[in-house]
Amino acid sequence: MKAAVYYEYGPAQVLHIKQVEKPVPAKNELLLHIKATAVNSGDWRLRKADPFAARFIFGLIRPKVNILGSVFSGEIESVGEDVKQFKVGDLVFGHTDMRFGAYAEYICLPEDASLALKPAGISHQEAAVIPFGGVTALHFIKKVTIKAGQKVLVVGASGAVGSAAIQLAKSYGAHVTGVCSTENIALVKSIGADHVIDYKKEDFTQLDDTYDVIFDTVKAISVSRSIKSLNKNGIMILSAAGLSEMLQGVWISMTSSKKVITGVISHTAADVSFLKELIEADKFKPVIDRTYSLEQIAEAHVYTEQGHKKGNVAIVI
């Protein structure tokens, strides 16, 4: 089968298209014919081993996982004899988690992986871009338990996680403010933001407004300056936090009525199914900036790594 592989950490040019062995499903696995995937921050960061600590998990000198890609949409080509929930021909989408492997024509996943039937009425490209930002935003929003009428601020509102966070918060009835650049205001409004702050013109920490939840999806804020924009008992979510932000968050949570949430995400098939239901209820829309072929994977990585994409970058296989 055709796959985008890499055997050393480095720039996008370490990615190469090669023919590799097609996987065979075990008794509890599905063999998926992947139709589309996406390039996300987790992909290019692992390709570069950024942060360096990633090497202690994925290979100190060279990567143990040679095919990146953590999200997919495709068709089940065959199933193991113990599989009960899915059948050949089912169209599914989901997240591979730490297995990666979606930059390929085929992948094997266990039946209980984070996947669900593809939402009706959308393309494979649209379905493939949903799980990365969707499950990340959902992981943190479930910890907050957003209530109708609460004020939520989403920083990095036009990105993969930010665009998902806006739509999820709106589905719970929140009043949502998005923070983005001038160029992305129309996009952020189109996915449901009640108000948009152009960070090139205004600093939300200098405004009088306060929020029940501040969700920084891109590690763009100063925790110490932004905490005053939280209401009493408010919650700050830092989904892209580094060690410094994590330590500040622990201190704030210990010494005040406000709380800071960080950490590694987790997800299940139920989370993917929940996103499917929102999409089919017209409460969640995939956002695609650009679409590339698998042969253009290095170019797609270069563009994504620049940090200016709107929503997601899809890859057609």
> Both tokens of residue 149?
């009428």
* pLDDT at site 243: 86
**What sign has the CA pseudo-torsion 250, 251, 256, 260?**
negative
List Cβ neighbours of 114 (8 Å cut-off, separation of 6 or more).
94, 95, 96, 97, 131, 135, 267, 268, 269, 271, 272
* pLDDT at site 180: 97
Neighbour-count burial of 61, counting CB atoms closer than 10 A to its CB (0-12 exposed, 13-18 middle, 19+ buried): exposed
Q: Return d(Cα 289, Cα 94) in angstroms, integer.
A: 20
- How many Å separate Cα 252 from the centre of its chain? 26
pTM: 0.94
Q: How many CA atoms lie within 13 A of 220 on its CB side?
A: 22
Neighbour-count burial of 13, counting CB atoms closer than 10 A to its CB (0-12 exposed, 13-18 middle, 19+ buried): exposed
Q: Which residues of the chain have pLDDT under 70?
A: none
* pLDDT at site 308: 87
Query: Which domains can be identified in the chain, with CATH numbers?
Result: 2-131+268-316 (3.90.180.10), 132-261 (3.40.50.720)
Q: Return d(Cα 85, Cα 202) in angstroms, integer.
A: 50
